[in-house]
Structure 1
Amino acid sequence: MKVLVTGANGQLGQDVVALFQKQHQVTGLGRHELDITNLEQCLRQVELIQPDVIVHCAAYTAVDQAESDEDQAYLVNAAGTRNLAVAAEKSGSKLCYISTDYVFDGQATAPYKEYDNTNPTGVYGKSKRAGETLVQTLCSRYFIVRTSWVYGLHGNNFVKTMLKLAKDRDRLKVVSDQVGSPTFTEDLAEFLLALVATEKYGIYHASNSDVCSWFDFAKAIFEESGVNVIVEPCTTEEFPRPAPRPKYSVMDHLAIRTNGFEDLRPWREALKDFLAKLESSSI
């Protein structure tokens, strides 16, 4: 297949390009090659490349900054996604839009299913939800893949931050009342590779399986990397941030099961794999 990947220099985009290249003809475009907020550019590039699939990884992901930069968040996550949806529909391409657990308010007590009502509370989640709506409205062949707590070898993320902080601190406080599922970008890319080859369109929840709090995740990071740090639990209130975070954003992988896909492996297994790769890489 011919595949166009947006946000190709991002944390997920780099892994998607690397993996998909093994099987498909891939064009990866970063923000300097493609300004997704420019409709004409989107139409021109898609017409030029004629992709069978567009994997749309480009996004405005600065969760806290979005609260004071609302226009830019919507420009990228809503209008930018609309532009790609219009271009995809015009060229007959499938569109795979990467979304987030932040489309939920976190008030649930059981894992969110794909077709549960969304209720984002922050600007980031609202702008990503707007992108979902535009994809659903404008595309006839789409996949919306919601993921959570993403980390990978490229770019900054929670795992790298914890390891960095541990270098000059012997104790850390980490929020224990926010629960969800970490996701290793390489595992997510594997799922996307299997998904976009099909016509099993719709919304999917894709994260590594099993559940933890950020506190549990931090403890596991240090245990698996043999770093001696005392991790203390604290509440969200003790660490106020500009943007609200969902307290409970566990997602049920109903669509993965009912459509016959292989679920992503447990998060702890993925974390071990990531840490081994991080140690042996020069990134």
Structure 2
Amino acid sequence: MRILKILILGSSGNIGGFLTKSLNKYYEVIETGRKDIDITNKNEVIDFISNNSPDFVIDSAGIADVDFCEKNEDISYSINTLGTMNVAIACSKKNIPLIYISSAQVYGSSENSSHFEQDICDPVNIFGKSKLAGENLIRTLCKKYYIIRTSWCFGGEKCFVKKIIDKKNIPIFMVADMKVNLTYLGDLAKVVLSMINSESYGIYNCTNKGSELKSNIVKYIFSQIGCSKEVFPLPASTLKALAPRPKDCLLNTDLMESSFNIELPSWKDRMIEYIDTIMSLQK
């Protein structure tokens, strides 16, 4: 039986790197980073994908720094939107299924409820707008695609949890009143595996169970390492310099669960497991 060939764009990033390691166990994985391919160059993307003839393309490339995107609109749209368009064109030409890693921030804010995939999207910052524009181009150009809208991913080598633990001895300031879902990358990889073995194409929300204020998530992380620490809200003067954030940008995952017969555990359970792994490696 022939082993499927999976091309992962953005392998040097945290999500792409994690997916590369996870899928390597089952498939022939072609990992690519910025040094391998410039996704803003349409001809380069088309030639690269054509020459490698993958059975599946996973696009985890792009700029995820929300504040950088807000200050660098041209770069954000060039990579997150036009780069995505180039990948979609290349996949469409060869009829290759495409998995696109998107974001909960394409929805904008919600009031007292979680977003469903069919909800109207009204992003409040350049990052969300550039990702939504990329999504729309995929939907226009491709017949076979999965768009995964996820949120606050943790796990891997460049995880925000590690960065928070590293800051245990210094004051923590952050936007404190935004409620989010979290996604463990190990569970995201399971969903991606299910998609590769399915033809239920479409848009799917993907997060672990539960939601929490960002400030409480940071406090929870510290509590798991036995550290009592206060998280300070950023002053209004600082917030004005940051990109706007959606308030309570939560996701409903019923469609993912029913389509792929998957029910992901709570983010707290996965966070405990992940922190235990980090701490054991530091001993």
Q: Which bracket does the TM-score occupy, shorter chain normalised?
A: over 0.9
Paired residues for 1:27-38 under 5 Å = 27-38=30-41
Quick one: which amino acid aligns to residue 164 of structure 2? M
Give the structure 2 partner of residue 105 of structure 1. Answer: 108
Paired residues for 1:37-186 under 5 Å = 37-157=40-160, 159-169=161-171, 172-186=172-186
Tell me: CA distance 1:270–1:135, structure 2 relative to 1, closer, same or farther (3 Å).
Answer: same
- How far does the alpha carbon of each residue in 1:106-159 deviate from its partner, in whole angstroms, 9 at most, with x for none? 1332000011000011111000000000000000000000001122232252x2
- How far does the alpha carbon of each residue in 1:62-118 deviate from its partner, in whole angstroms, 9 at most, with x for none? 210111211110011111101110111111210000000111221332000011000
Give the structure 1 partner of residue 196 of structure 2. Answer: 196
Q: Which runs of 5+ in 1 are unaligned?
A: none
Tell me how far 1:45 sits from its aligned partner: 1.2
What's the secondary structure of 2:136's corresponding residue? helix
- How far does the alpha carbon of each residue in 1:39-74 deviate from its partner, in whole angstroms, 9 at most, with x for none? 111111111111111010001112101112111100
Distance 1:236 1:25 in 2: 49
Tell me how far 1:174 sits from its aligned partner: 4.7
Tell me how far 1:277 sits from its aligned partner: 2.2
For the aligned residues, what is the CA RMSD? Answer: 1.8
Give the structure 2 partner of residue 216 of structure 1. Answer: 216
What's the secondary structure of 2:260's corresponding residue? coil
Give the structure 2 partner of residue 13 of structure 1. Answer: 16
Distance 1:112 1:197 in 2: 26
- Kindly indicate whether residue 26 of structure 2 is the aligned counterpart of residue 23 of structure 1: yes
Tell me how far 1:273 sits from its aligned partner: 1.6
Distance 1:66 1:21 in 2: 31
Asked whether the 8 Å contact 1:114–1:254 carries over to 2, the reply is no
Tell me: CA distance 1:34–1:280, structure 2 relative to 1, closer, same or farther (3 Å).
Answer: farther
Asked whether the 8 Å contact 1:6–1:28 carries over to 2, the reply is yes
Deviates more, 1:50-59 or 1:253-262: 253-262
Quick one: which amino acid aligns to residue 252 of structure 2? D
Tell me: CA distance 1:79–1:140, structure 2 relative to 1, closer, same or farther (3 Å).
Answer: same
Q: Which runs of 5+ in 2 are unaligned?
A: none
What's the secondary structure of 1:145's corresponding residue? strand
Tell me: CA distance 1:223–1:154, structure 2 relative to 1, closer, same or farther (3 Å).
Answer: same
TM-score computed with the length of structure 1 as normaliser = 0.93
Asked whether the 8 Å contact 1:52–1:92 carries over to 2, the reply is no
Quick one: which amino acid aligns to residue 31 of structure 1? R
Asked whether the 8 Å contact 1:205–1:252 carries over to 2, the reply is yes
What's the secondary structure of 2:204's corresponding residue? strand
Aligned pair count reads 278
Percent identity over the alignment is 30
Deviates more, 1:56-65 or 1:223-232: 223-232
Distance 2:175 2:36 in 1: 38
